[in-house]
Structure 1
Amino acid sequence: MNRRSMIATGAALVILLGGVAGAYYYVDHKKDNEEAAVKEEKDALNLFSFDSNTVKGIDITNSEGHFNLTLDKSGNWNIEETDYQYSFTPYSYYLNVIAASMSRLKADHKADFKEGDMSRYGLDSPVTIVCHTDDKDYTLLVGNSSATEEFCYVMIPGDDTVYCINNDTGKELQCDISKLRDPYIFKCDDNDIIQFSLVHNGETSYDLQRNFDGDAIWTMNAPETDVSIDAITVNTVLTNLVRVQAGKFEGFTKDENELAKYGLDKPAYTFTAVTDEKTYILEFPEFSEDAEEVWCYDADSCAVCSISINNAAFLSGKWYDLTAKQAMREQFMSVSSLEIDVEGEKHKLSMDHEAQKYIFDDTEVTALGNDDAAANFEYLFASVSEMEHADYRDDVPEKMGKPTCTFSYTLTDGTKRELALVPIDDESYWAYIDGKCVGMTVNRSALESKNGCKNYIEILKNEIGN
């Protein structure tokens, strides 16, 4: 190759390499620009990013009105200002969900928005949410869900873009009253309730009051008074009660015609619970045995909602469901003597608690040096004091019949009490406590079983040689 050809070839190579380099630069630069554009577009979908724990207040404006809410030191949200006509307790958990959802809000994509077509997205009258932090306020306009309910449309003030966010998140941010209000019927703890009652068609089913003075934790005001209350049962009822949540929420109303739709214009049940701070009055209509829910009206807040029938057992309860399982219970240390007459067989248990003496009839049991005898003396007492009653009946005789079994207590303060059993048939008795029967019955097996008093009388007699 001559020198001139070599120069020409070299020049061609230079031009070729320059073209390749230029093409590479163009492609690479274009790729960088595309990646930057994609990143910019992706970043634009990150609507908010802040620490939800810094939110100290939330303003919500929806079709119902405006709500200004603040967070107190206990972590509870409170309505500070509102133009809504009804009062309700806000659901703190839900307000925290709003703050958390706003703090990390991302859009899936931008909608194909045409200017002036706001009603298509429900953004002509959106729900407005403002989260207030010390550094900044974050405002979101929330519209409707898409036709497929896959997305929810939102906007940010000052930005003409309509964003599509996850529909579940969107529904949380649509902030209707049913979500804003606390779903719990009772805004208190079980220990806060000091009195509760149920009236059914004008008749008191039960009325109990917490007792702060005597030994008993609860006493019954009506329909009976001289009955022992099972504190464990009552505590279980109240624990379940304060956990009851509304099912369907129909809104707030005072309109009798509206209430009539739910049978609440003339309620059959009125349940009342009293705390130091508030009295709850709930009204319910009649309901069938196969009902799955019952409507409830809160007379204070004017809220209409449903309650699952499984959570409404307190409406079916009777006063005797809350009584002690024992027919007549007396504490051993509070009794100085117990006289037993079981179908003509009579015995007397005497206790000198200070001297630690037990006397069965004329025998001082504690002087025998027989620990089993002393233990069986106590078991005999317990077999009477812990004797369980059976069902309650409504067909109590007008006049007391002749008892075949009596258990007469003399308490250490001199008080006399008696449980008398009057036969109903061969297997059961009416139980009269201090001469009064409220329908309580006792089965014969309570006397004759292994733990019955008849058995322990024989055991103790054998122990002391009688």
Structure 2
Amino acid sequence: MNRKSMIATGAALVLLLGGAGGAYYYVDHKKSAEEAAEKAEKESLSLFSFDSNSVKGIDITNDEGYFKMSFGDGGEWSLDETDYPYDFDLNDYNLNVIAASMSRLKADHKAEVQNGDLSKYGLDSPMEIICHTADGDHTLLVGSSSVTNEFCYVMKPDDDTVYCIDSAEGEKLRVDVASLRDPYMLSINDSDIMQFSEVHNGEVRYDLSRVIDGNVLWTLNAPQTGVSIDAITVNTVLTNLVRVESKSFGGFTKDESELAKYGLDKPAYVFTVVTDEKTIKLEFADFGPDSEEVWCYNADSCEVFSITSGEAAFLSGKWSDLTVKQAMSVPFMSAASLEINVDGETHTLNIDHEKPSYVFDGTDVTAKGSEEASAEFEYLYASVSEIKHNGYRDDVPEKMGEAACTFRYTLTDGTVRELALVPIDDNNYWAYTDGVCLGMTVEKSAVTGSSGCLNFIERLTAALA
């Protein structure tokens, strides 16, 4: 190749490389611009970014009214201001969800709005949510869902863009009174309850009060008194009650005709709960065994809602369901003596808790030095104090018959208590506690069976022989 050809070839290569470099620069620049545009678009879809824990207040304006709510130091939300005609407790969980959802809200894409018409997006009259934080307010306008229910349309103030957020996020944000109200039947803790009662068609089923002092935790005020209440059973009932959530929400009303639609114009049950701060009165419609739900009216808040029939089982309860299972339970450490009289045969147990010493029918059991005899003495006492009743009957006799068995306790403070068993038939007794029969019955086997006192009298007698 001559010199002239080499120069021409070199020039061609220079032009070729220069063109390739220019093309590369153009493509690279275009790619960078596209990436920058994509990044900017992605960032523009991030609607909010703040700490949800910093939210101290939420304002909501929707078709039902204006609701100004604040978050207290105790972790509960309160309704501070509203033009809604009824006051109600708030759903803390849903409000926390709103704060969390708003704090990290991102859109999937932007809608193409034609002619500035926002009505098709439900944004011509949107719901407004304002989250108040120490760093400022964050406002969102919430519209309707897309035709496919895949997205929810939202906007921000001073921004004409219509954003499309995931429908699940939209459901969290598009709230009404039904989702703002506390769903629980009782918006209190079970430990707050100082008294509760139920009246069925004008008849008191039970009325109990919490006792602050002494060993007794609950006392029955009506329809009976002087009955030992099973604190564990009562506390379990109350724990279950405060966990009951409404199944359906019928709204707020004071209109008798509206209440009549739910059978609440003439309620069959009235359940009342008293705390140190307030009294809650719940009225329930009548229901049958095939009912799936039972409608309730909160007379204080004017809420109409339902609970499942299974959760309404407490309305069918009786005072006797809340009593201890023992016919008369006297703690061993509270007794100074126990006199047992069965079918005319009498035995006496004397207890000195200070020494301590046990005496059975005049024989000093402790002085015998027999652990077996001392144990049998305690077993005998327990066989009487743990006599279980067999439920309650309504056909209580007008007059007390002759007792076949009596168990008379003298307590350490001098109080005397007596359980008397009067035969009903060959297998059952009426139980009279301190001379009163409330319909409690005891099976004869509770006295004569392997766990009955007659068996333990024989065992103690044998141990002392």
The DSSP-based 3-state class of the residue aligned with 1:396 is coil
Question: CA separation in 1, counterparts of 2:366 and 2:4?
Answer: 138
Residue 74 of structure 1 corresponds to 74
Question: CA separation in 2, counterparts of 1:147 and 1:346?
Answer: 87
Aligned-pair distance for 1:355? 3.9
Question: CA separation in 2, counterparts of 1:69 and 1:115?
Answer: 37
Residue 320 of structure 1 corresponds to 320
Q: Is 1:7 the equivalent of 2:10?
A: no
Residue 124 of structure 2 corresponds to 124
Aligned-pair distance for 1:168? 1.1
List aligned pairs for 1:20-419, cutoff 5 A.
Answer: 20-419=20-419
Q: 1:3 to 1:356 in 2, by over 3 A?
A: closer
Question: CA separation in 2, counterparts of 1:448 and 1:165?
Answer: 75
Question: CA separation in 2, counterparts of 1:259 and 1:58?
Answer: 32
Unaligned runs of 5+ in 1: none
The DSSP-based 3-state class of the residue aligned with 1:291 is coil
Unaligned runs of 5+ in 2: none
TM-score by length of 2: 0.96
The DSSP-based 3-state class of the residue aligned with 1:53 is helix
The DSSP-based 3-state class of the residue aligned with 1:438 is coil
Greater Cα offset, 349-358 or 432-441: 349-358
Question: CA separation in 1, counterparts of 2:28 and 2:172?
Answer: 44
Q: 1:13 to 1:357 in 2, by over 3 A?
A: closer
Aligned-pair distance for 1:187? 2.2
* C-alpha distance after superposition, 1:283-336 (max 9, x if no partner): 101111132221111111011111122322221110001001100011223222
Aligned-pair distance for 1:185? 2.1
* C-alpha distance after superposition, 1:101-131 (max 9, x if no partner): 1110001111232234322111122110111
Q: 1:326 to 1:17 in 2, by over 3 A?
A: same
Aligned length, in residue pairs = 465
Residue 454 of structure 2 corresponds to 454
Aligned-pair distance for 1:450? 2.6
Aligned-pair distance for 1:376? 1.1
Aligned-pair distance for 1:143? 1.0
* C-alpha distance after superposition, 1:183-225 (max 9, x if no partner): 1222222111110000000000000011123431111000110
The DSSP-based 3-state class of the residue aligned with 2:8 is helix
Question: CA separation in 2, counterparts of 1:376 and 1:338?
Answer: 15
* C-alpha distance after superposition, 1:370-418 (max 9, x if no partner): 2211221121111111111112111222222222111122223332221
Question: CA separation in 2, counterparts of 1:378 and 1:283?
Answer: 49
Greater Cα offset, 256-265 or 30-39: 30-39
Question: CA separation in 2, counterparts of 1:214 and 1:53?
Answer: 44
The DSSP-based 3-state class of the residue aligned with 2:300 is coil
Greater Cα offset, 13-22 or 430-439: 13-22
AA aligned opposite 1:159:
D
Question: CA separation in 2, counterparts of 1:260 and 1:376?
Answer: 64
TM-score by length of 1: 0.96
Greater Cα offset, 203-212 or 31-40: 31-40
Aligned-pair distance for 1:344? 2.5
AA aligned opposite 2:429:
Y
The DSSP-based 3-state class of the residue aligned with 2:197 is strand
The DSSP-based 3-state class of the residue aligned with 2:102 is helix
AA aligned opposite 2:408:
S
* C-alpha distance after superposition, 1:36-90 (max 9, x if no partner): 2221211111111111122222111111111111222222222221111111112
Aligned-pair distance for 1:362? 2.4
Q: 1:34 to 1:355 in 2, by over 3 A?
A: closer
Aligned-pair distance for 1:427? 1.8
AA aligned opposite 1:232:
I
The DSSP-based 3-state class of the residue aligned with 1:46 is coil
Question: CA separation in 2, counterparts of 1:330 and 1:298?
Answer: 41
Tell me how large the CA RMSD over aligned residues is: 1.5
The DSSP-based 3-state class of the residue aligned with 1:168 is helix
AA aligned opposite 2:163:
Y
Question: CA separation in 2, counterparts of 1:355 and 1:75?
Answer: 54
Question: CA separation in 2, counterparts of 1:163 and 1:176?
Answer: 21
Question: CA separation in 1, counterparts of 2:334 and 2:21?
Answer: 106
The DSSP-based 3-state class of the residue aligned with 1:312 is helix
